[in-house]
Structure 1
Amino acid sequence: MTRIVQIAPSIEPGSGVAGVAYALEREFRAAGVPVERFTAAEAGRTLDRPHRTTLGLHLARAGNVIWFSTLGTRRAKRYLAERPDAVSFTHNDVMAGDVYVNHGLLQAAMRARGNYAWRMVRNPVHLFTAFRDRIRYRGRTHRAVVALTGEEARLLTEVYGRVRPPVTVIPNGVDVERFSPGDAAGRAAVRGELGIAVDATVAIFIGHEFERKGLHLAIDALRMAPGVVLLVVGGSSDMIRRAGSQARRAGVAGRVVFAGERPDPVPLLRAADVLVLPSAYEANALVVLEALACGVPVVSTHVGFAPDIVVDGENGFLVERKVAPIATRLAELDGLDAATREEWRQRARRTAEQHSWREVAARYLELARSIEARKAAGRPTDRAAGAS
């Protein structure tokens, strides 16, 4: 029987890499597949340490990346050596494991934001990560690589020139039971808590990197979409302060609500009418699927998984990364009557139902079994590149 080990800095419910690994773990177990985890905690490092300043938080995150990439790698290799029959999936940092799941390309993200050389040089961890991943993708560290979208598979070759392990495209999924449309009472309660009128059109922005994800564009778009309230979820206190200053300069501060970091985005998504994601780069953007599952249409740039699942005029809109087209689509959705809004919500929900974690996990297990057969036959890592 196939046995799985997942390697990630942390594995827990929620969003991001930790949430993806957790969702896969749950589905593997539901399918009767034994699964173990190797996280920073198993490696002997505690990630959850309070930090009073943004600088302290950034330094801690940098330290965690370097530690898990180096000492964590050594300990992961020992862990896997004791489980020679297991197939291992690595999510971020560690330079070990049969399959590496690419949750994002640092260099592609920096290039998409502009001033690439300066962004790389000013942060030594960026240089460390770029060098580490060049070894990862061009060497024999892994037997296979998973890219979350076809575009991400293309970018792998564009950034690294040649990717030695074969690349398989497996998009992320969504928990369609947890992320589901709410009722009118719950929607009204959340809006009441946040001071938002029940009949307002709410555009929700979710993310911890305001600049890359384009919050400044969404704020400026409000000037041309006067009926829209922007609900911002995530961000540090410094980031929220700067974004608040921008909203005041733009004259829209009264229509921007900062909810801060929230452990559960579901109630906030259910209280929204549209997700706005004018991001410069996304490896996948799981929040797009989560919004659709909650019946929330999406206005997104052509990044990550959005081009594969967002259909203009049906479940959202794909826009240029400019203020005017974002504002036009937000205003268009604001002008819909109640019956038409409900049709949009239903179409959004139907889209997400085609991407459950159960289906995604089945594709990972298919890949695991092919790796297992290759290992049993004593075959080395394939020297190939491309997407399947």
Structure 2
Amino acid sequence: MTVIVQITPEIGPGTGVGAVAHHLEQEWTRLGIDVRRFSLSEAGGDWLPQPGGGVRGRLALITRVVWFSTVGTRRARAYLRAHPEELSVCHNDVVAGDVYVNHGIVQAAMRARGHYRLRMLRNPLHLFTTTRDRLRYSRRGSHRVVVNLVSAEEALLRQSYPRLAIPTVVIGNGVDIERFRPPSDTERADARAALGRTPDDRVVLFIGNEFGRKGLPLLLEAMARLDDRTHLHVVGGTPDLVAQASSSAAAAGLGERVHFDGPHADPRPWLRAADVLVMPSAYESFGLVVLEALATGVPVVATPTGCVPDLVVDGVNGAVVDATPDAVARGLAAVLDGDAAELSRHARAAAEQHSWSRVARRYLDLLRTVRGIDPLADARGDDLLGEPPGADPIAATRPVSNGGRP
């Protein structure tokens, strides 16, 4: 039986990059493929502390990234040498695996936020990951192919690493359209009541852990321009980030309209209660929460980063706005005053084109292309490289050369 091993520090719903690996694992398992994990545990990092707020939390994060990048790379390479028949997909840190999924470029994120040199120099983790990835992308043997999540990210990758030596393709993330679905009237009413919101309140939702990059300070300024019926619920953030943002909200007179609900693995209760999701990010490699919101029937107001230009249409299922408080406030007002039922219907329709089942099959086609092994052959009981009769055909994604030519 064909085996696929996924290499990433953690795998599970609500864990960012780990959630992508989780959904791929689920879909491949449903297709009868043996899916295995190489995580921080397999890299001998079980003893490392969990990241959190404050200096200790940041040091814990640095330690985990460095460990999985160094010790993890050595152990992952040894594992793959011992199991040459296994196909491999790497999502983070480790420099090994047939396919590497680019979930973000540090340089691009820092440039988008301004004061690039200062941001890079004051955080040793930025310098480490940049050096690590310069080695990753400049050596042809590191991976067989790099997956970028959107076309714009592919361009940024080539700009950030002009000596890119590995072929690239674009495969976007997906969404579980069964798990994330529009709520019934009762589910919506219950979710809003659980947050303390009345039927007349307008619920704005922000989901994210990096408040600065994802634009929460800008959103707080925009909230000051909206009426008193409008409430903002913030899901995510470390204790120190929440404390700082809470002080800013109180200083702006928003203390009673901004609610910090902390990090949660399952965003569905908040999505069911929301009238709109806001993501005024300076940079996103994709922005999975946008797809999850749209699948739940929640319109999105966001800056044109990550998947937003491909998914959000002004006046149809949300608004694409500039990264200014006035622009975000205008986008929110337009959506909140719009036809809620129509916005929700179009939001759901956009997400339905991006199910995880389709995305998982595109990865299988890619693995078949780069390794000449059909992951579905054993599951089907045959040795054919083509799709089984009656299957939904998805053409294999062909790698792009370093110069961008097919």
TM-score by length of 1: 0.94
From the superposition, tell whether residues 239 and 325 of structure 1 become closer, same or farther in structure 2 (CA, over 3 Å): same
The amino acid that maps onto 2:201 is A
Contact 1:167/1:385, CA 8 A, preserved across alignment: no
How big is the shift at 1:333?
A: 2.1
After superposition, residues 272-287 of structure 1 pair within 5 angstroms as: 272-287=274-289
Query: More displaced, 11-20 or 303-312?
Result: 11-20
From the superposition, tell whether residues 383 and 305 of structure 1 become closer, same or farther in structure 2 (CA, over 3 Å): closer
From the superposition, tell whether residues 279 and 383 of structure 1 become closer, same or farther in structure 2 (CA, over 3 Å): closer
- 1:25 is aligned to 25
Q: Secondary structure at the match of 1:295?
A: coil
Query: More displaced, 117-126 or 297-306?
Result: 117-126
From the superposition, tell whether residues 74 and 370 of structure 1 become closer, same or farther in structure 2 (CA, over 3 Å): same
Query: More displaced, 327-336 or 212-221?
Result: 327-336
Matched, 1:366 2:384: no
Query: More displaced, 229-238 or 46-55?
Result: 46-55
The amino acid that maps onto 1:137 is Y
Contact 1:99/1:145, CA 8 A, preserved across alignment: yes
- 2:335 is aligned to 333
Contact 1:2/1:372, CA 8 A, preserved across alignment: no
Matched, 1:384 2:402: yes
Instruction: Select which of 297, 300, 309 maps to 2:299.
Output: 297
- 2:163 is aligned to 162
Query: More displaced, 167-176 or 253-262?
Result: 253-262
How big is the shift at 1:155?
A: 0.2
- 1:77 is aligned to 77
State the alpha-carbon separation in 2 of the partners of residues 34 and 318 from structure 1. Answer: 41
Q: Secondary structure at the match of 2:221?
A: helix
TM-superposition CA deviations, 1:314-360 (whole Å, max 9, x none) = 11111000010110111122223xxx201111110111111000000
- 1:9 is aligned to 9
- 1:104 is aligned to 104
State the alpha-carbon separation in 1 of the partners of residues 329 and 401 from structure 2. Answer: 47
State the alpha-carbon separation in 1 of the partners of residues 67 and 365 from structure 2. Answer: 32
Q: Secondary structure at the match of 1:230?
A: strand
Query: More displaced, 44-53 or 355-364?
Result: 44-53
Query: More displaced, 243-252 or 256-265?
Result: 243-252
TM-superposition CA deviations, 1:192-231 (whole Å, max 9, x none) = 2322222211110000000110001111111222142111
Contact 2:168/2:400, CA 8 A, preserved across alignment: no
Give me the CA root mean square deviation. 1.9
How big is the shift at 1:191?
A: 2.4
- 1:149 is aligned to 150
- 2:238 is aligned to 236
TM-superposition CA deviations, 1:78-116 (whole Å, max 9, x none) = 111121112211001001111110000011001111111
Contact 1:2/1:368, CA 8 A, preserved across alignment: no
Q: Secondary structure at the match of 2:348?
A: helix
- 2:394 is aligned to none
Matched, 1:308 2:307: no
In the TM superposition, structure 1's runs of 4+ consecutive aligned residues that sit over 6 Å from their partners are none
- 2:138 is aligned to 138
Q: Secondary structure at the match of 1:41?
A: coil
Identity %: 50
* Bigger share in helix: 1
From the superposition, tell whether residues 255 and 5 of structure 1 become closer, same or farther in structure 2 (CA, over 3 Å): same
- 1:378 is aligned to none
- 1:172 is aligned to 173
- 2:392 is aligned to none
- 2:125 is aligned to 125
Structure 2: runs of 5 or more not aligned: 375-398
How big is the shift at 1:302?
A: 0.7
- 2:380 is aligned to none
- 2:92 is aligned to 92
State the alpha-carbon separation in 2 of the partners of residues 193 and 89 from structure 1. Answer: 40
Q: Secondary structure at the match of 1:262?
A: coil
- 1:67 is aligned to 67
After superposition, residues 32-71 of structure 1 pair within 5 angstroms as: 32-46=32-46, 49=49, 53-71=53-71
Matched, 1:344 2:346: no
How big is the shift at 1:163?
A: 1.6
State the alpha-carbon separation in 2 of the partners of residues 307 and 382 from structure 1. Answer: 22
Contact 1:2/1:369, CA 8 A, preserved across alignment: no
How big is the shift at 1:55?
A: 1.3
Contact 2:48/2:64, CA 8 A, preserved across alignment: no
Contact 1:168/1:387, CA 8 A, preserved across alignment: no
State the alpha-carbon separation in 2 of the partners of residues 48 and 189 from structure 1. Answer: 39
TM-superposition CA deviations, 1:225-275 (whole Å, max 9, x none) = 214211100111221111112112222221111111112101111110100
State the alpha-carbon separation in 2 of the partners of residues 244 and 210 from structure 1. Answer: 12
Contact 2:299/2:318, CA 8 A, preserved across alignment: yes
Contact 1:228/1:330, CA 8 A, preserved across alignment: no
Aligned residues: 380
State the alpha-carbon separation in 2 of the partners of residues 387 and 155 from structure 1. Answer: 17
State the alpha-carbon separation in 2 of the partners of residues 2 and 200 from structure 1. Answer: 52
State the alpha-carbon separation in 1 of the partners of residues 61 and 51 from structure 2. Answer: 11
- 1:257 is aligned to 259
